[in-house]
Amino acid sequence: MRPGDFLALTNLPILHLIPPLNASLSRNISDTSTAYTFSRVFSSRDRKTLASTAMSRENAVIRDRESLERKTAAIRSAGASKLQVIADFDGTLTKYSINGRRGQTSHGLLQQGNTEYDEKRQALYDYYHPLEYSPTIPIEEKTKLMEEWWEKTHGLLIEGGLTFDAIKKSVADATISFRDGLVELFEYLEEKDVPVLIFSAGLADIIEEVFRQKLHRSFKNVKVVSNRMVFDNNGRLISFKGKTIHVLNKNEHALDMAAPVHDKLGDPNGSVDDYTMVKNRTNVLLLGDHIGDLGMSDGLNYDNRISVGFLNDNIEKSIESYKEAFDVVYLNDASMWGVVDLVSQLCPSNQ
């Protein structure tokens, strides 16, 4: 997610919790990669879910099956108390597209209520976005450019008089939506007391509002680590908390940088004290939609990491690099059901 992404997506219905079920695994091996399909025993009321689940499994690609199985066994043996989940937000937890249209991001959905300042933010995007992907700019220089971009964007939000009401209206009018199976995934992780850290270079207040409006519920184990706003008594933005988190420093070091994670969605006492808790959880399930998202675990000395990548677009051009980078790759804007199955193996219901 980047300042100025203006995209569109239609909403999906809210899902209801179904009990986690044991999964059996069948493999179709082709060359060096493995396509996984899973079968489950569902009751008649879950037949629609079964069709979605089967489709998700068929869209999964694993390059090194034996490595994945070793990691899975090691994490399962260590238990849920040693596991944490680190996830990107846009294009990972949310759907990338529907009916051929790009999905709207949590930053791109924001309408400031001031056309002049919306246009100014878009102009910054048009200038800095190509620099972000330039292969000729050294990382040190690029990091400074990203800091510059984020700081200018935040300045425009303050100067343009952004209000919390504008955020709520922007989310209400947006077409952003979560992947099928996301609720069930978070429910299962909450039951197992596995923390979920959502790292985003965007705006925590918008992400939390998306959760409120689109899921209509909270999760005590979910924490958003992102840029957090400060509003005055009239609901007008006056500043940002902590240091700026941008696309090139979005990792577990951000726990040191971020202001207290005062998460309105879950535990109101949540704070960077959670840093100690996650540092003791040395097994990681990482979810992302860009290879750069693998850096989200850079600040953690983990024992085992299973990385899951969502390859949503340009599949033919990117599949090889994604296979090399991630343990599991889901294609074609897949659902979360494959991740639900994976988590049920990492943290069995009888454990």
Say yes or no: do domains 24-99+177-346 and 102-172 share a fold.
no
For 216, residues 6+ apart whose C-beta sits below 8 A from its C-beta are 14
C-alpha to C-alpha distance for 292 and 88, rounded to whole angstroms = 10
Domain ranges of the chain: 24-99+177-346, 102-172
What value, to the nearest 5°, has the Cα angle with vertex 216 and ends 212 and 220?
75
Q: What is the CATH number of domain 24-99+177-346?
A: 3.40.50.1000
Residuewise pLDDT in 10s, the chain (351 residues): 555 543 332 232 222 222 333 333 333 323 334 333 333 333 333 444 444 454 455 589 999 999 999 999 999 999 999 999 999 999 999 998 866 777 788 888 998 888 999 999 999 989 998 998 787 999 889 999 999 999 999 999 999 999 999 999 999 999 899 999 999 999 999 999 999 999 988 899 999 999 999 998 889 999 998 999 999 999 999 999 988 998 888 876 666 655 543 344 344 344 445 566 677 899 999 999 988 899 899 878 899 999 999 998 888 888 999 999 999 999 989 999 999 999 999 999 876
> Looking at residue 292, what is its pLDDT?
86
> Looking at residue 275, what is its pLDDT?
60
Q: Write down the residue that tokens 């059901």 correspond to.
A: 337
> Looking at residue 338, what is its pLDDT?
95
What single-letter DSSP state applies at residue 235?
A: S
C-alpha to C-alpha distance for 162 and 155, rounded to whole angstroms = 10
Q: What is the dihedral angle through the alpha carbons of 342, 344, 345, 347, rounded to the nearest 10 degrees? A: 120
> Looking at residue 54, what is its pLDDT?
47
Of 1.10.150.340, 1.10.357.10, 1.10.3470.10, 1.10.10.350, the CATH number of 102-172 is 1.10.150.340
196 phi, psi to nearest 5 deg: -120, 120
Q: 103-152: per-residue pLDDT in tens?
A: 788 888 998 888 999 999 999 989 998 998 787 999 889 999 999 999 99
Q: Exposed e or buried b for every residue in 211-221, given b needs 16+ CB within 10 A?
A: beebbeebbeb
Positions annotated as catalytic residues are 88, 90
3-state SS, residue 258 = coil
> Looking at residue 139, what is its pLDDT?
84
